[in-house]
Amino acid sequence: MNAASLTALVNRWRPETHTFHLRAGEMTLILQDVSMILGLPIQGEPLCMNTASDGWRGQMEDLIGMAPPAPEDPKERTPSGAAFSWIRTNFGELLPEGANEDSIKTYTRVYLWYMISRTLFADSGGKLAHWCWLKALTVLERRWSWGTAALAYLYRQLDEACRRTGSGGIGGCLLLLSVWSWDRLSVGRPRILTARPWPHYRHNLDREPTWAYLWDNVSEMTSDPNIMYRHYTEELDTLTAEQVDWEPYGTYYHIGAGMADLNPKLDRQRQRKITDWPVHHRGHVTAFQHCLEAVRNAGHVEIVPHDLAAFNNYLQWFHQSTRIELVKPAYDDQILDDPIEFDEVAQSQHDIYARRGRSTSISSELNFVRSEIQKTAEECEVVWDQSHRDEKPIGPMRNFIKNTARKMRRLANLLGCRDTEIAATSSSEEVQIPDDTILSQGIASQRKKQATRSAYQLKPRGNAPKRYTPDDYVNRGKKVVIEEDETPPRRSTLRKMRNDEPLSSEEEEEEEEQQEQQQQSSSKKRRKG
pLDDT at 34 over 80: yes
pLDDT at 480: 54
Residue 343 CB-density burial (10 A; 0-12 exposed, 13-18 middle, 19+ buried): exposed
pLDDT at 497: 47
C-alpha 179/C-alpha 212 separation (Å) is 6
Count of Cβ atoms closer than 10 Å to residue 129 Cβ: 24
DSSP character string of 243-264: GS-S-TTTT---TTTT---S-T
**Amino acid letter, 343:** D
Helix count and strand count (H, E) for the chain: 21, 5
- Number of alpha carbons in the 13 Å side-chain half-sphere of residue 130: 18
User: pLDDT of 198-228, one tens digit each?
Assistant: 877 767 777 788 889 889 889 888 888 888 9
C-alpha 336/C-alpha 349 separation (Å) is 17
pLDDT at 296 over 70: yes
- Number of alpha carbons in the 13 Å side-chain half-sphere of residue 458: 6
pLDDT at 29: 95
User: pLDDT of 245-269, one tens digit each?
Assistant: 988 887 544 333 333 343 445 555 5
204-211: long-range pairs with CB below 8 Å, 24+: 210/36, 210/37, 210/38, 210/39, 211/36, 211/37, 211/179, 211/183, 211/248, 211/249
Mean pLDDT of 77-101: 87
3-state SS class at 428? helix
C-alpha 172/C-alpha 268 separation (Å) is 15
> Between residues 285 and 119, which one has the greater pLDDT?
119
pLDDT at 40 over 80: yes
- 417 conformational bin, left if phi > 0, alpha if psi -120 to 50, beta if neither: alpha
> Between residues 418 and 398, which one has the greater pLDDT?
398
C-alpha 128/C-alpha 79 separation (Å) is 8
pLDDT at 268: 54
CB within 8 A of 41, min separation 6: which ones? 143, 144, 145, 146, 147
DSSP character string of 183-245: HH--TTPPPB-SPPPP-S-TT-GGG---GGGGGSSBPPP-S-HHHHHHHHHHHHHH--GGGS-
Mean pLDDT of 414-440: 54
User: pLDDT of 118-165, one tens digit each?
Assistant: 999 998 888 889 888 888 888 888 888 899 999 999 999 999 888 876
pLDDT at 476: 65
pLDDT at 26: 93
Is residue 3 within 8 Å of residue 226, measured between CB atoms? no
Count of Cβ atoms closer than 10 Å to residue 322 Cβ: 14
User: pLDDT of 1-19, one tens digit each?
Assistant: 899 999 999 999 999 999 9
Say what percent of the chain tops pLDDT 70. Answer: 78
Q: 495 vs 111, 184, 492, 500, 503, CA distance in Å?
A: 96, 71, 5, 8, 10
- Number of alpha carbons in the 13 Å side-chain half-sphere of residue 242: 1
> Between residues 486 and 331, which one has the greater pLDDT?
331
pLDDT at 92: 87
The residue ranges of DSSP E strands in 268-369, in sequence order, are: none
- Strand arrangement, sheet containing 13-14: 13-14, 19-22, 25-27
Is residue 17 within 8 Å of residue 26, measured between CB atoms? yes
- Number of alpha carbons in the 13 Å side-chain half-sphere of residue 372: 26
pLDDT at 176 over 70: yes
Mean pLDDT of 324-352: 83
pLDDT at 467: 67
C-alpha 282/C-alpha 146 separation (Å) is 18
User: pLDDT of 399-424, one tens digit each?
Assistant: 888 888 888 888 888 877 777 665 54
**Length, in residues, of the chain:** 529
> Of 86-95, 162-171, 312-321, 334-343, where does mean pLDDT reach its minimum?
162-171
**Amino acid letter, 376:** T
At residue 407, φ and ψ (nearest 5 deg) are -65, -40
**Amino acid letter, 62:** D
Q: Among 135, 139, 119, 131, which residue's Cα sits nearest to residue 68?
A: 131
**Amino acid letter, 51:** T
374-383: long-range pairs with CB below 8 Å, 24+: 376/404, 376/407, 376/408, 379/404, 380/404
At residue 478, φ and ψ (nearest 5 deg) are -145, 125
pLDDT at 359 over 60: yes
pLDDT at 430: 42
Mean pLDDT of 47-72: 82
End-to-end CA distance of the chain: 96
pLDDT band at 99 (very low <50, low <70, confident <90, very high): confident
Is residue 503 within 8 Å of residue 492, measured between CB atoms? no
User: pLDDT of 447-500, one tens digit each?
Assistant: 444 445 455 556 666 666 666 676 766 666 655 555 444 455 555 444 444 444
The residue ranges of DSSP E strands in 239-398, in sequence order, are: none
* Helices within 388-435 (DSSP H only): 394-414, 426-430
3-state SS class at 340? coil
Mean pLDDT of the chain: 78
pLDDT at 132: 86
